[in-house]
Amino acid sequence: MTAQANNQTKRRALISVSDKAGVVDFARALVERGWEVLSTGGTLSALTGAGVAATAVSDITGFPEILDGRVKTLHPSIHGGILARRDAGHLAELEAHGIGTIDLVCVNLYPFRETVARGAAFAEAIENIDIGGPAMIRAAAKNHAGVLILVDPADYELALQDDVTEADRRRLAAKAYRHTSEYDAAITAYLDGTSDAIPTRLPQTLSLELSRVAEVRYGENPHQPGAIYRWGAARGPVLDARVVAGKPMSFNNYADADAAYALCSELAAQETEAGDPRLVCVAVKHGNPCGVAVADSVQAAWEQARDADTLSVFGGVVAVSGTVDLAAAQAMRGTFLEVLIAPDVTPEAVEWFAAKKPDLRVLIAASAAAVSVLDLRPIAGGFAVQERDARPWADLCPEVVTARQPTDTEWADLRFAWGVVKHARSNAVVLARGGVTVGLGAGAVSRIWAAERAVANAGERSAGAVLASEAFFPFDDVVRLAAGAGVLSILQPGGAKRDPEVIAAANELGLSMVFTGSRHFRH
């Protein structure tokens, strides 16, 4: 490190951190190497309490901390010592004013994002906006040629080296500016009526603070680099899942597991709301559900979801809403799967998967109290942004528009099918019976093609099933196809110009039809 050019005999480090991981050992190591440590507030107490010699910043400035600690380091004796170039002119000016240089600044900021994330009141959030910290970080990063700036405990070992390279100093400065810019973005989002972790509306300026949390071998295809990022301080059930068996996750694994667990969680909540908390299994392939079932056990739900489409489930991703025990694990023996995600997996099941299906990635989902409600789609030069489609069944006012009313059993299946179809790519049609999907048609460019695919997929299982469509019927062709296959009841948003013709066809063929008044396009 650069030696002092004035009369100051010791190099000085200013340490004031919110994240105190490793800071005592780091400060002790600096003192042992002949450094003088300056500190403030809780950090000073932690250091001196651990027997590390440290000088209060107020002893340097000759001015006490004021305004409940809001003003501590905003003083020429601090910022002059950080910002001075290590040349004769600046050093002489410091000496004329009795100011010593500060050669290392170790600062990370008040826990603003963490405070907001735990639902703190506005006044507490405001008090956790750091002012002096960002000022010192930015000053040290600007003058990184002469001052080491540390915002991450992972860099403490580097700072203890005898000679830190220019390249490392520049890298640390870049990390410091990233640290403050992300912090400012979080505050901006909060004051703009959103949270950087959980945006709740569409602000004039949307800041995307993304930090890489996982590396993957490639993206969707081997020629595409890929990585997984966290948005702000948000948590996700898949993003923060614990992998307890199997290979590392791939890019597509993350995407499909997130889609599967989102539908699984929604259906599980729907079952609980209906007073019938059965367990849910969702199989997803290429972003679309291919087999979904509710049953009294994880094993039964898996077996029914698998049997809904044994071809498509091959190589799929499966999410379940309950604990996977050994019996459920063994029931998956004959099916190749990429990922299994569940709230919990018993040790016996983990051991069995590791021995019998070593390539299967087994994940225990992380708890996530809230998920971002914004849905971002990249377009050339920017993003199309919308609020996520999170409208629950309880928010609908279903209207029976035919002479025939759905039976209680049909109502349960219509509700279930509606939950599934909103998670399938448009155009989408779902056939369900007895809490199991028996036919799915998704991603079709024509609604009748989606319906034909669903009916063909179901085969004889169409008889007695219900049908859900995520958008209205422009013609009565789907109704006639469904009736011919033995479907008993149809759920759709309604709102087409030919609704009267569609309703008349349903009455003619003896079907019940329900309008939800809410469509669920998913492109």
Q: How far apart, in Å, do the first and last CA atoms of the chain sit? A: 56
58/65 Cα distance (integer angstroms): 7
> Are 408 and 456 contained in the same domain?
yes
Q: Evaluate whether residue 224 is within a structural domain.
A: no
468/431 Cα distance (integer angstroms): 7
Instruction: Say if CB 337 and CB 315 are below 8 A apart.
Output: yes
Q: Which of 191, 220, 254 is the last residue of a domain?
A: 191
Instruction: Count CA atoms closer than 13 A to 310's CA, side-chain side.
Output: 5
> Are 183 and 58 contained in the same domain?
yes
> Are 70 and 177 contained in the same domain?
yes
138/149 Cα distance (integer angstroms): 9
Q: Evaluate whether residue 209 is within a structural domain.
A: no
- Tell me the per-residue pLDDT of 159-184, one tens digit each, with 9 for 90 and over: 888 788 889 899 999 989 888 888 88
381/236 Cα distance (integer angstroms): 27
| Confidence at residue 197, expressed as pLDDT on a 0 to 100 scale | 46
| Confidence at residue 4, expressed as pLDDT on a 0 to 100 scale | 39
Q: Which of 191, 211, 226 is the last residue of a domain?
A: 191
Active site residue 142: yes
* Paired tokens of 391: 């409208």
Backbone angles phi, psi at 376, to 5 degrees: -110, 130
Strands 374-379 and 361-364: unpaired
Q: Evaluate whether residue 485 is within a structural domain.
A: yes
> Are 49 and 183 contained in the same domain?
yes
| Confidence at residue 273, expressed as pLDDT on a 0 to 100 scale | 76
> Are 318 and 271 contained in the same domain?
yes
249/235 Cα distance (integer angstroms): 17
Which one, of 14, 34, 10, lies nearest residue 23 by Cα?
A: 14
| Domain that residue 507 falls in | 395-515
Look up the CATH number of the domain holding residue 424.
3.40.140.20
> Are 342 and 400 contained in the same domain?
no
Return the ∠ at Cα 150 (arms to 146 and 155), rounded to 5°.
Answer: 115
Chunked in runs of 10, what are the mean pLDDT values of the chain (523 residues)?
Answer: 49 87 88 87 87 83 72 76 82 80 87 80 85 87 89 87 86 89 80 56 74 91 94 85 94 95 92 81 94 96 95 95 96 95 96 95 84 81 87 88 97 95 92 96 91 94 95 93 96 93 96 93 85
Please enumerate in sequence order all residues whose Cβ is within 8 A of that of 126, keeping only pairs 6 or more positions apart, or say none. Answer: none
> Are 125 and 23 contained in the same domain?
yes
> Are 311 and 259 contained in the same domain?
yes
Q: Which of 191, 221, 251 is the last residue of a domain?
A: 191
Annotated catalytic residue within 20, 79, 90, 142: 142
Q: Evaluate whether residue 376 is within a structural domain.
A: no
Q: Evaluate whether residue 337 is within a structural domain.
A: yes
186/190 Cα distance (integer angstroms): 6
Annotated catalytic residue within 10, 79, 286, 520: 286
Domain count, the chain: 3
Q: Evaluate whether residue 205 is within a structural domain.
A: no
- Tell me the per-residue pLDDT of 66-94, one tens digit each, with 9 for 90 and over: 776 677 677 777 888 888 888 887 878 77
Q: Evaluate whether residue 75 is within a structural domain.
A: yes
> Are 33 and 167 contained in the same domain?
yes
Sign of the four-CA dihedral 269, 271, 272, 277: negative
> Are 332 and 415 contained in the same domain?
no
Q: Evaluate whether residue 401 is within a structural domain.
A: yes
> Are 404 and 448 contained in the same domain?
yes
> Are 175 and 266 contained in the same domain?
no
| Confidence at residue 114, expressed as pLDDT on a 0 to 100 scale | 81
* Paired tokens of 257: 């597991």
Question: What length is written for the chain?
Answer: 523
Active site residue 286: yes
Please enumerate in sequence order all residues whose Cβ is within 8 A of that of 206, keeping only pairs 6 or more positions apart, or say none. Answer: 189, 199, 374, 385
DSSP 33-55: TT-EEEE-HHHHHHHHHTT---E
Q: How far is CA 154 from CA 22, 176, 229, 392, in A?
A: 9, 13, 19, 44
| Confidence at residue 3, expressed as pLDDT on a 0 to 100 scale | 37
